[in-house]
Amino acid sequence: MRNIHHALSRLTRDRSGATAVEYCLLIAIIAIAVAGLISTMGGHPADTFGVIASRIG
């Protein structure tokens, strides 16, 4: 039991891979947002941007 507790406490203190995991999560969130944006545009992004441009200018 003592060995398990010691191993778990070492794992909770080790931060060497934390940055890589955070970057992977950030990339995954961005990819999901981009996929949602593309699906919202309905596959016709040129038309969507044309409508936006005509309303702005």
State pLDDT tens for residues 11-55.
677 666 677 788 889 999 999 998 888 788 776 767 777 888 889
Structure tokens at 3: 């060995």
pLDDT for 14: 66
For the chain, state the CA radius of gyration.
22
Q: What pLDDT does residue 22 have?
A: 84
Number of H helices, E strands in the chain: 3, 0
Q: Which residue has the higher pLDDT, 54 or 2?
A: 54
Whole-angstrom distance, CA of residue 46 vs CA of residue 52 = 10
Q: How confident is the model at residue 9 (pLDDT cuts 50, 70, 90)?
A: confident
